[in-house]
Amino acid sequence: MSSITSSNGTINPSTTRIGWIGTGVMGRSMASHLLAAGYSLTVFNRTPEKSQSLVEQGARLAESPFAVARSSDVVFLIVGYPSDVRRAALDPESGVISGLSSGSFLVDMTTSDPTLAAEIYEAARAASCFSVDAPVSGGDRGARNGTLSIFAGGEEAAVGRLTPLFQCMGTVRYMGGPGAGQRAKLGNQIAIASTMVGLVEGMVYAHKAGLDVGKWVEAISTGAAGSKSLELYGKRILERDMEAGFYVHHFVKDLGICLKECQSMGLALPGLALAQQLYVSLMAHGEGHLGTQALILTIERLNNTCLKKNSESK
């Protein structure tokens, strides 16, 4: 098959083979949209059982990231930590880049370190391949609905060529050169962190003030305090639904990368630092497996209170 980077090479379901590494809460839904669009898919996950639903939809299971790359023209990667990204992308024996053919693509959708994104870009270029860092925002609901915001860094022409694939998952925006996608996502996480603190503090205040918190959430949702965080998590918090759409331990990882970046830039962001400490307290209580809306538990503990469930407040 001709390279998809050639003048007559286009990305479409009949000619482009897709690889996917990482089939967790986000990755599983994102990959399913590519299957639904008619693309052939080869998948890998360290826990193979988490790929079973994709296999039932027609995906083929591979034994390593290297094996995925050998069977793919474009490989997507969405795993947990920068160390996982490094291993999956750069391991000389089992990594993606070692297995890619000339002219192929690696797209890292993990929220990771911008300097690692630049390192992977250079390794891919040395192998005559392309690397794009393209982390996402929108949570599990955005992944399921195909409405994610995608922040892309790398060569603009490469991002443009990949747009048909990104459009299966959401809306892509080109942010700049290698690492720019990651830096855009880190800025996103900084904004979310303080927004979540404000949301749960407001809910605890409303509760202690004797208001019906459900009515309060509904009332502020159409005003200046309305936000995507309120839309995604307000009802879940009221229903004590702490199931992860985005894990606390992954958010703590993200905020740690943000703080590292700030330190290297000589940048003081006290709201970020406070939010990171509040989320770390959830880890200390063994709640890293919960969703980010579990921040309510930290603020409740600080104030020795607990929001009533919807059913209890009616």
Residues annotated catalytic, as ranges: 185
Closest C-alpha to 147, from 174, 175, 162, 169? 169
Closest C-alpha to 190, from 276, 119, 291, 107? 276
Closest C-alpha to 89, from 77, 73, 102, 80? 77
Q: Quickly tell me which residue has 């479409």 as its tokens.
A: 12
**What is the SS3 assignment for 60?**
strand
The residues that bridge with 76 in the sheet, in sequence order, are: 20, 107
The residues that bridge with 53 in the sheet, in sequence order, are: none
Please state, in angstroms and rounded to a whole number, the distance separating the CA atoms of residues 7 and 65.
Answer: 28
The residues that bridge with 27 in the sheet, in sequence order, are: none
Kind of pairing between the strands at 148-153 and 136-137:
antiparallel
Identity of residue 208? K
Please state, in angstroms and rounded to a whole number, the distance separating the CA atoms of residues 131 and 155.
Answer: 8
